Amino acid sequence: MRWQALPLPDNSKIALLQEEVGISSIVATLLVQRGMETFAETKGFFRPKWEDLHDPFLMQDMDNAVERINTAVAQKEKIMVFGDYDVDGTTSVALMTSFLQTLTHQVTPYIPDRYKEGYGVSYRGIDHAASLGISLIVALDCGVKAVDKVAYAKEKGIDFIICDHHLPGEALPAAVALLDPKRQDCSYPFDELCGCGIGFKLIQALVKNRSLENAILYPYLDLVATAIAADIVPMVAENRTLSFFGLEQLRKQPRPGIKTFLETLKKPVTVTDLVFKVAPRINAAGRMDHALKAASLLMSTSSEEVNQLAPPIEVFNANRRATDERITKEALLQIEERNEHDYPATVVFHDDWHKGVVGIVASRVIETYYRPTVVLTRSKENYVGSVRSVKGFNVYKALEACQVHMIQFGGHKYAAGLTLHEDQLTAFKQAFETVVAKTILPEQKAPTAVYDLALPIDEVNVKLFRIIEQMAPFGPKNMRPVFCSHNCIDSGGSKLVGKDSSHLRLSIQTAQGPMIGIGFGLGHHIDGISKGNPFDVMYTIDQNDWNGQVSLQLRVKDIRFSSR
């Protein structure tokens, strides 16, 4: 793993902010790195306000969307809320369905079956809507490329409102309204909202149009915060404001369906809890069974209903975990048996792998073989699968260069899905490996650990930790600060921990006494550390709460032995 420091800001900017705000140079440096240079910007960062949210009517087609929904409500039309089966789509369906149900009883939620329909707007879903007499579909987290399917729906007398955040194609669907800040003719000030975030902007517009109180929107913010955390969108600007208030809602009055997954928490909920506790369970329903079951849980208002819906989802999650662990082992074995250790990219496939976990498996394989990875499984005469990338490499562009060997594909810079015919498999594998080999940069071939600032270990203290905590919510472009301390020395208390002794409990000498750190999977460093060799440590500052005793703790990311 390469270590890389973020560029240090201009000293004059650090000094100016330090003086203006009255903070340490360490905190000033962290803030300037995140774009703060004035007192006003810093205040806005630490204290987001509801007024920071943009007017939803700045989004192209928002007035059309509101007008069409108002007409549907007034004329008692039947409305379908259609969303993807991941966390963003599932929370979007829960948000839009539950809000529209406050305006009309004619609302039906729909999430496509991952295995029978695949990703996005489906003909089967449109046919189902037509059979129910539905005349308006509100699609969330999908639809921006569904040109043919929207036209097909129009033939059946069904209008579409699309709320998407993916990149549009050359042609836009002929929807009544297409809400997507990434469309070229949209001047909305922030284009990094997730699908649920755009759904929230639509209900915000409906509330404003009806001159209702903003407080009506607060109960939906926990869904938005969950989607933002799970979809890994930048935690800046409007996303950060929505997450800030969403976490506040989760701490004060979470919806029962989310609360059930957080009941064991002994501290205020954070983005990390949403990513690792809530999101995998919501995802598991769509991976192992049907995502509508997770959406139903999220829309539940009674503890009795939650007590019925939550246990099966826990079972789905346990099964998902066991399945992705097994398939990951099989994928790694396939690489070894084919002697593909040094290939520029990974393409693995098996007829019987579970389609619901191939994306997770791709991420797991990258942990061993750090390179763009495709994991495929059979679906009738086709192969379907997921693609994951490494830092800096645009896997979407790589797939574009291989599109002649696929039936379809879609996604983002770092994650995508694809479908190809069984006869295309060999050609696709060769083409993808060739494209990656030609375009990947040397620095993208090995994982890079980035840290904000080099910091003497003696300067780690409770005051610094408390200020860092106020920089939350953390996420892309506002990650929890990472520090590096050089020439650390074992205090004599470092040891191996864990069932298999693979983890490291560090005890570092400081002027204030031993500083404890935990390094998961770093137990192999124990010999050099216990012999008294100086070492560098990269870490975030954490808090350990054990048996009622609260103390600072380093969450160690990596260790290397000092060169001097």
Instruction: Give the mean pLDDT of the chain.
Output: 95
> Per-residue pLDDT for 478 more than 60?
yes
Phi, psi of 203 (to 5 degrees): -70, -30
Give 509-531 pLDDT, tens digit per residue: 999 999 999 999 999 999 999 99
108 sits in which H/E element: strand 107-110
Residue of 535 and 169 predicted with greater confidence? 535
Q: Strand pairing of 453-454 and 159-163?
A: unpaired
> Per-residue pLDDT for 564 more than 80?
no
454 sits in which H/E element: strand 453-454
The CATH class that applies to domain 56-310 reads alpha beta
Cα→Cα distances 285→137, 295, 313, 532, Å: 23, 9, 6, 50
Give 298-336 pLDDT, tens digit per residue: 999 998 999 999 999 999 999 999 999 999 999 999 999
Phi, psi of 103 (to 5 degrees): -105, -30
Phi, psi of 59 (to 5 degrees): -80, 135
Cα→Cα distances 74→77, 133, 199, 283, Å: 8, 16, 21, 35
Give 346-373 pLDDT, tens digit per residue: 999 999 999 889 999 999 999 999 999 9
In whole angstroms, give the CA distance from residue 164 to residue 169. Answer: 12
Query: Looking at residue 562, what is its pLDDT?
Result: 83
Phi, psi of 523 (to 5 degrees): -60, -25
Residue 338 Cα to chain centre, angstroms: 33
Mean pLDDT for 40-67 is 96
Query: Looking at residue 546, what is its pLDDT?
Result: 73
Domain ranges of the chain: 2-7+449-561, 56-310, 340-444
Cα→Cα distances 510→67, 281, 489, 564, Å: 64, 41, 9, 18
In whole angstroms, give the CA distance from residue 208 to residue 281. Answer: 33
In whole angstroms, give the CA distance from residue 202 to residue 92. Answer: 11
Among candidates 14, 87, 473, 91, which has minimal Cα distance to 270?
473
Query: Looking at residue 266, what is its pLDDT?
Result: 81
Query: Looking at residue 550, what is its pLDDT?
Result: 77
Give 365-424 pLDDT, tens digit per residue: 999 999 999 999 998 889 999 999 999 999 999 999 999 999 999 877 888 999 999 999
Mean pLDDT for 39-66 is 96
Give 66-92 pLDDT, tens digit per residue: 999 999 999 999 999 999 999 999 999
Cα→Cα distances 218→97, 99, 237, Å: 16, 11, 18
Among candidates 312, 418, 292, 279, which has minimal Cα distance to 355?
418
With tokens 């809507």, the residue in question is 129
In whole angstroms, give the CA distance from residue 561 to residue 564. Answer: 9
Please state, for a pLDDT cut of 90, what percent of the chain lies above it.
Answer: 90
Give 141-156 pLDDT, tens digit per residue: 999 999 999 999 999 9
Task: Check if the beta carbon of residue 529 is closer than 8 Å to that of residue 535.
Answer: yes
Among candidates 187, 185, 182, 209, which has minimal Cα distance to 197?
182
In whole angstroms, give the CA distance from residue 455 to residue 30. Answer: 12
Which alpha helices (DSSP H) does 34-86 contain, by range? 39-46, 62-74
Give 170-212 pLDDT, tens digit per residue: 999 999 999 999 999 999 999 999 999 999 999 999 999 999 9
Domain 2-7+449-561: assigned CATH number: 2.40.50.460
Q: What is the dihedral of CA 366, 369, 372, 374, to 10 degrees?
A: -80
Domain 340-444: assigned CATH number: 3.10.310.30
Q: What is the dihedral of CA 30, 32, 37, 43, to 10 degrees?
A: -30
Give 420-447 pLDDT, tens digit per residue: 999 999 999 999 999 999 999 999 999 9
Q: Is 502 exposed, middle or buried (0-12, 13-18, 19+ CB in 10 A)?
A: middle
Entry pTM: 0.91
In whole angstroms, give the CA distance from residue 285 to residue 314. Answer: 9
Query: Looking at residue 520, what is its pLDDT?
Result: 94
